[in-house]
Amino acid sequence: MWKKITFLMAMGLLIYSCAKVPMSGRSQLALVSNEELLPLAYEQYAQVLKENKVVTNTADGQMVVKVGRRIAEAVEKYMREQGYEKQLEGFAWEFNLIDEDIVNAWCMPGGKVAFYTGIIPICQDEAGVAVVMGHEVAHAIANHGRERMSNGLLLNGLLGGAQAAMGQNPTLTQNIFLQAFGAGGQLGMLKFSRRHELEADQLGLNFMAMAGYDPRVAPGFWDRMSEGRNGAPPEFLSTHPGPGRRKEQLEKQMPKAMEYYENSEYR
C-alpha cells in the first residue's frame, strides 16, 4: 500500500513538474525552479571568469559581445510576443571571450555565455559567431541545464527541488549540479544529450535569423567544426550528433529560419 501511495505521489509530482520548451513545444522535466538554479549558475560563472583570462579589449572580444547582445535582444522580443516572458525572469545575459586555445563555447542557465578563443578561427566571421551564439543561447532558452539537473535529482530519488535536495543530501546535490553544468573538470565540456543538441541547433538557427544573421551559413560552420583544425573533430563534438544528421535537420529547418531572417528588423 505504501509503495503504491509513494508511486502515485511521485507520478503526481512529475506531472506537476513538467514544462514546455519555447518554439519546439517539447515537454520536459522541471523539478528545479530557475529561482533556485540561477544563483548557483551565476556564482559558478563568476568563478570561471575569475580563474581565467577574459578578453575584452580586442576585436574578437567585442564581436562576441555584439553578437550576443543582438541575439539576446531578438530572442527576448520573440519571447514577449509569444507570451513566454516569465521564462526569462532572473536572466542576466553576459557574453565573454576567454583566452584559451579550446574549440568550445557554452552557456549556463540565465544567459551566461562563454566563448574560447580557439573556436573563433572556425567561426571565421560575425555570422559564424552567430551560429554558435544562437546554439548556446538556445540551450538557455530551452532550459536544458535545468532539465539535466532535474533528471539527475530524479535518478537519485531527490524529488523535492534543489532546496529540499540540499537538505536531504547536500553533497550528492552539489555533485549533480556540477555534473549538470560541466563544472569540476573542464567547464563547458557539457555532454548534453543528442536530443538537446539537435533542439539547440533548431532553435539556434531561428534565433540567429531573428537577429538578422543569414542562417544559410550554419551548415558550412558545422562542416568546419566537424573537420577541426587538424583534420579530427574536437572534443566539443564527442557526444554530439553526427555532421550528416545535423546538416539534414538544418536544411529541414531552413525555410522557417529564412522567414525569420527575411522579416528581421536587424538586417
Active site (catalytic) residues: 136
Report d(CA 188, CA 178) in Å as an integer.
Answer: 11
Report d(CA 125, CA 120) in Å as an integer.
Answer: 8
Judge residue 69's burial from the number of C-beta atoms within 10 Å of its C-beta, 0-12 exposed, 13-18 middle, 19 or more buried.
middle
| Contact by Cβ (8 Å): 195, 27 | no
Q: Report strand pairing: 94-98 vs 18-20.
A: unpaired
The string of DSSP codes covering 96-129 is EEE-S--S-EEEETTTEEEEEGGGHHHH-SHHHH
